Amino acid sequence: MNYEQLVNHLKNHQYKWGVTGVAGFIGSHILEELLNLGQKVIGIDNFSTGTQKNLDYVLDSIDDHHKENFTFIRGDLQDQDLCGQICEYAEFILHQGALGSVPRSLNSPRNSHNSNVNGQFNLLVASQDSKIKSFVYASSSSVYGDNQNCPKKEDCTGKPLSPYAATKKINEIYGQVFSDCYKLNIRGLRYFNVFGPRQNPNGPYAAVIPIWIRSLIRNEEVYIFGDGSTSRDFCYVKNAVQANLLAAFNTQNNIGHEIYNIACGRETSLNDLFSIIKTELSQFIPDIKNRGPLYKDFREGDIKNTLASINKGKKDFNYDSPFSINEGLKETINWFYNHQETYT
């Protein structure tokens, strides 16, 4: 079924969903969509990167009747009992909880491993015990590593270039093993530079789009690592939300483990990205048109270019990346400008 058909189905059928990292950027957007569709959700977050204000924002936008469908647990996926509690309740697991960022993993590899590998392992064991209908987890484009081929296709990865990339590769291996050994329906989603409202612009490991938006709003310098020709396949968060729900209901090959690129299938250089953001923000701050970036050395562990093939997701579960980077940036910039007191 396509996403419109799935939405109609969910509006008429209530399921129980477990969402990890529910107070995070992507997790809170998934929560918002599920609650708006009348679904029951149990969410867990340890607030290592997620925030209470993300949950508050979602719940403030939901009607009181649907708010009652949400149960929140503050805890860590390294707690096996909590993983069991979530999986006993839920029919579907959407696993977003992780410590992201290549630089963070280079500085603290043990923390990245414990959170990303041990957390998902515990959740897989609990899912097997509870016979979860479908387990969807967040992987990453970083698993392509030193593979220079573009566009990236799911069956051809490279050597991981950071501890973060290694944790995501291990997650995919465990996904395959648990599917083969325990007959679980598991789907891994390789996110390509997801962005959107509520993405944290603060701290040393923040993503480029919210950092630049905040910096331009504050009249601060914008830094580009390299000469600006570095490119990414930027993916609006609503695309990632749709992919999670579609993947959970993908029944063409019900039992098995499959990996999918979640992106737009379009490459945007950092120079072009800066130009788009500056143009969109100029409607609020006209003088911003005269701003330019400052260039720094390329960062260790970063990948020069990423571009995804999304054909497999289109074929298997009708993922069609409905929101382009321009549409997503327009919504994101409008949102950040109107919420700058609390989010920038």
Please identify every residue annotated as catalytic. Answer: 164
Neighbours of 51 (CB within 10 A): 17
Beta bridge partners of 266: none
| Spatial contact of 48 and 99, defined as CB atoms under 8 Å apart | yes
Which residue, 160, 67, 155, 57, is CA-closest to 116? 160
What φ, ψ does residue 19 adopt, rounded to 5°?
-120, 115
Q: Which helix (H) or strand (E) holds 338?
A: helix 325-338
User: Quick one: 209 exposed, middle or buried, by C-beta within 10 A (0-12, 13-18, 19+)?
Assistant: buried
Beta bridge partners of 41: 17, 70
Q: Coil, strand or helix: which one is 191?
A: strand
CA-derived radius of gyration, the chain? 19
Which residue, 258, 262, 256, is CA-closest to 241? 262
Which residue, 337, 320, 66, is CA-closest to 197? 337
CB half-sphere exposure, 71, CA atoms < 13 A: 10
Identify the sign of the CA torsion 61, 65, 66, 70: positive
Q: What is the DSSP letter of 299?
A: P
User: What are the angstrom distances between the C-alpha of 270 and each of 212, 252, 326?
Assistant: 11, 38, 14
Which residues 6+ apart lie within 8 Å of 195 measured at CB? 207, 209, 210, 234, 235, 236, 237, 328, 329, 332
Q: Where do we find the tokens 């291996």? A: 173
Q: What is the DSSP letter of 141?
A: G
